[in-house]
Amino acid sequence: MVNPLLFNMFTGMNVALLNQGIEKITRRAYARLVLIYKIYISQEFSGAMLSS
């Protein structure tokens, strides 16, 4: 027989770790997107400046 309290603690811990991992990956992906966006905008902006 598995102790329900122990089981709940264990699964809760795993879910917390999983959520933390997802959050970290999401944050990293978001930061990369922002970086790409900034580079794209700056290139577009300098391109517009040069052509005008």
Give tens-digit pLDDT for 1-52: 678 888 888 888 889 899 999 999 999 999 999 999 999 999 888 877 666 5
Report the first-to-last Cα separation within the chain, whole angstroms: 76
Tokens 């905008």: give the residue: 41
The reported pTM is 0.55
How far, in Å, CA of 48 to CA of 52, rounded? 6
Q: Can you give the pLDDT at residue 24?
A: 95
Q: Can you give the pLDDT at residue 37?
A: 94
Q: Can you give the pLDDT at residue 29?
A: 96
The identity of residue 52, as a single letter, is S
